């Protein structure tokens, strides 16, 4: 689907409620399927990725019913059943990597498949540690489809070179079914929703700085209301910061410490952003975020910042084109392994719009502030975050732009355009 984005002529104003966090939704449906009893998850994501996780869990025998359009009940006896067909993870890396950990320790065989983009993404990062635990996984060049024959697993102490919540979660989930202790150490802290949720469901899990320890455990069912997704809020935050006179409030947004890198970076850039009504449920904090148009200045984003804002980097690149001076993003090489190579694609797209941006092997350098020209067509390459980041860039261009494949935004955020329209009329 081609989407034309017309530049804004009025500031963004008003309040919106941001939809459910994708990372937490995946975990909620998967972990509840492993618990013995009935769990109720409210504010479950409507994004296609989380629906893929839900369908995979159904394929493994969990009974999952919608009580209303955002509330699901999950009924399970705590034992997954052998699937009768392949388990389709769609576009979702989180579904494939987390499910690999769960399936490696079952007593049946399963096959995880994915769409064209997911079938090109690296799975070695989970296959290698799972094999060290005793898993049996067949793949073609460490890519999907993955044929997993469940086995008896043994705990390992795994030191990862990558700060990745998907890899960490995969190993911790395998650890739930493994003999002995499993530990996972990462170079800097990635999102910790798995640790928090497993803890609240009664798993034997401990965290010490960048290491997590887990032992074989049974999970209790949970009732949980999922906060809004800061990675979705990021698009509106960026738009309000760069269009003069905008001022918006984004309600009920998750502000887990491992996800708020974007807020810290905006403050570093001189952006006006405030957290209101802070609260917490099941260890997950949330707040309303107030953000206003700001004169931004460039900054460096690197090292421990990166896992705390990895998904926001495409829209941060758009933001940086509207900041005075240089913004340097480094140590983000794993951006090349997302739904698309988010370094080359972002650099090429922003260049086409007229930005001053240079590609690095592990990031990019942007010099601003540049008036973006627009008047061109951009490709999304099956990548939801590129689709929405380009939309935000289109709002501050001189000429309309066309985004080819805008429907990919539905992977995480089907409500994006409706909420944007709401802020446009203030």
> In the complex, what is the shortest distance from the CB of residue 170 to ligand S3P, in angstroms, rounded to a whole number?
9
Contact yes or no for 321/350 (Cβ under 8 A): yes
Residue 29 — φ and ψ, nearest 5°? -75, -35
The answer to the question of residue 165 lying near ligand S3P (CB under 6 A) is yes
The only residue of 5, 11, 19, 23 in contact with ligand S3P, by rule CB under 6 A: 23
* Residue from 120, 164, 165 nearest 141 by CA: 120
> In the complex, what is the shortest distance from the CB of residue 425 to ligand S3P, in angstroms, rounded to a whole number?
31
The answer to the question of residue 311 lying near ligand S3P (CB under 6 A) is yes
Binding mask 390-419 for ligand S3P (x = CB under 6 A): ------------------------------
> In the complex, what is the shortest distance from the CB of residue 126 to ligand S3P, in angstroms, rounded to a whole number?
10
The answer to the question of residue 91 lying near ligand S3P (CB under 6 A) is no
Q: Six-digit token pair at 148?
A: 């997993």
The only residue of 91, 94, 246, 345 in contact with ligand S3P, by rule CB under 6 A: 94
The answer to the question of residue 45 lying near ligand S3P (CB under 6 A) is no
Q: Single out the segment in contact with ligand S3P by CB under 6 A; choices: 51-59, 137-145, 160-168, 208-216.
A: 160-168
Nearer to ligand S3P, 45 or 164 (CB): 164
Nearer to ligand S3P, 8 or 329 (CB): 329
Contact yes or no for 40/61 (Cβ under 8 A): no
> In the complex, what is the shortest distance from the CB of residue 172 to ligand S3P, in angstroms, rounded to a whole number?
11
Q: Single out the segment in contact with ligand S3P by CB under 6 A; choices: 68-76, 83-91, 151-159, 161-169.
A: 161-169
Please provide the size of the chain in residues: 426
Task: Compute the Cα dihedral for 260, 262, 263, 265 and give only its sign.
Answer: positive
Please tell me the distance from the alpha carbon of residue 356 to that of residue 350, in angstroms, as a whole number: 8
Residue 157 — φ and ψ, nearest 5°? -105, 110
The answer to the question of residue 20 lying near ligand S3P (CB under 6 A) is no
CB-based contacts of 35, cutoff 8 Å, min separation 6: 74, 76, 78, 201, 218, 219, 220, 221, 222
Please tell me the distance from the alpha carbon of residue 64 to that of residue 71, in angstroms, as a whole number: 10
> In the complex, what is the shortest distance from the CB of residue 115 to ligand S3P, in angstroms, rounded to a whole number?
15
Nearer to ligand S3P, 110 or 169 (CB): 169
> In the complex, what is the shortest distance from the CB of residue 122 to ligand S3P, in angstroms, rounded to a whole number?
9
Binding mask 117-156 for ligand S3P (x = CB under 6 A): ----------------------------------------
Query: Restricting to residues 245-284, which ones interact with ligand S3P according to CB under 6 A?
Result: none
Q: Single out the segment in contact with ligand S3P by CB under 6 A; choices: 51-59, 164-172, 324-332, 361-369.
A: 164-172
The answer to the question of residue 164 lying near ligand S3P (CB under 6 A) is yes
How many residues at the interface with ligand S3P, by CB under 6 A? 10
Please tell me the distance from the alpha carbon of residue 412 to that of residue 8, in angstroms, as a whole number: 24
- Angle at Cα 210 formed by Cα 209 and Cα 211, nearest 5°? 95
Task: Give the active site residues.
Answer: 311
Nearer to ligand S3P, 294 or 412 (CB): 412
Cis peptide bond upstream of 380, omega within 30: no
- Distance (Å) of CA 325 to CA 300, 382, 393, 398: 11, 32, 18, 21
Q: Single out the segment in contact with ligand S3P by CB under 6 A; choices: 147-155, 162-170, 181-189, 388-396.
A: 162-170
> In the complex, what is the shortest distance from the CB of residue 50 to ligand S3P, in angstroms, rounded to a whole number?
10
- Distance (Å) of CA 241 to CA 12, 45, 104, 398: 10, 26, 45, 17
Nearer to ligand S3P, 383 or 415 (CB): 383
Extract the runs of DSSP E, i.e. beta strands, from 282-362. 284-292, 300-301, 325-329, 356-360
Strand partners, 15: 249
> In the complex, what is the shortest distance from the CB of residue 47 to ligand S3P, in angstroms, rounded to a whole number?
11
Pairing of strands 363-368, 325-329: antiparallel
Nearer to ligand S3P, 314 or 374 (CB): 314
Please tell me the distance from the alpha carbon of residue 151 to that of residue 132, in angstroms, as a whole number: 12
Interface residue list for ligand S3P (CB under 6 A)? 23, 94, 164-166, 169, 190-191, 310-311
């Amino acid at each position: 689907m081609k989407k034309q984005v017309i530049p804004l002529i009025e500031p963004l104003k008003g309040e919106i409620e941001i939809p459910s966090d994708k990372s937490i939704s995946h975990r909620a449906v998967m972990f509840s399927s492993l618990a013995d009893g009935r769990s109720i998850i409210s504010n479950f994501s409507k994004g296609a990725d989380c629906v893929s996780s839900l369908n995979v869990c159904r394929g493994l025998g969990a009974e999952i019913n919608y009580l209303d359009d955002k509330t699901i009940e999950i009924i399970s006896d705590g034992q997954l059943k052998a699937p009768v067909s392949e388990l389709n993870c769609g576009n979702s890396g989180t579904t494939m990597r987390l499910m690999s950990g769960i399936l490696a320790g079952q007593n049946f065989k399963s096959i995880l498949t994915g769409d064209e983009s997911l079938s090109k993404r690296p799975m070695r990062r989970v296959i290698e540690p799972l094999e060290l635990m005793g898993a049996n996984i067949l793949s073609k060049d460490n890519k999907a489809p993955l044929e997993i024959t469940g086995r008896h697993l043994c705990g390992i102490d795994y030191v990862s070179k990558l700060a990745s919540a998907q890899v960490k979660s995969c190993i911790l989930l395998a650890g739930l079914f493994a003999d002995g202790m499993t530990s996972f150490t990462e170079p800097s802290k990635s999102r910790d929703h798995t640790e928090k949720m497993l803890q609240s469901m009664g798993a034997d899990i401990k965290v010490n700085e960048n290491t997590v320890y887990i032992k074989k455990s049974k999970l209790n069912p949970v009732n949980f209301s999922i906060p809004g997704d800061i990675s979705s809020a990021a698009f509106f935050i960026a738009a309000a910061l760069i269009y003069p006179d905008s001022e918006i409030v984004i309600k009920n947004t998750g502000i887990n410490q491992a996800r708020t890198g974007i807020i810290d970076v905006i403050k570093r850039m001189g952006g006006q952003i405030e957290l209101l009504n802070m609260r917490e449920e099941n260890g997950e904090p949330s707040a309303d975020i107030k953000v206003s148009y700001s004169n931004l200045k460039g900054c460096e984003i690197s090292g421990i910042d990166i896992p705390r804002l990895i998904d926001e980097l495409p829209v941060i690149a758009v933001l940086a084109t509207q900041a005075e001076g240089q913004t340097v993003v480094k140590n983000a090489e794993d951006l090349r392994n997302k739904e698309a190579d988010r370094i080359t694609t972002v650099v090429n797209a922003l260049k086409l719009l007229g930005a001053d941006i240079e590609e690095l092997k592990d990031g990019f350098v942007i010099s601003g502030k540049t008036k973006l020209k627009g008047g061109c067509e951009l490709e999304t390459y099956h990548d939801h975050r590129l689709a929405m980041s380009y939309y935000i860039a289109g709002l501050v261009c001189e000429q309309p732009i066309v985004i080819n494949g805008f429907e990919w935004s539905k992977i995480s955020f089907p409500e994006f355009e409706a909420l944007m329209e709401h802020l446009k009329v203030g």
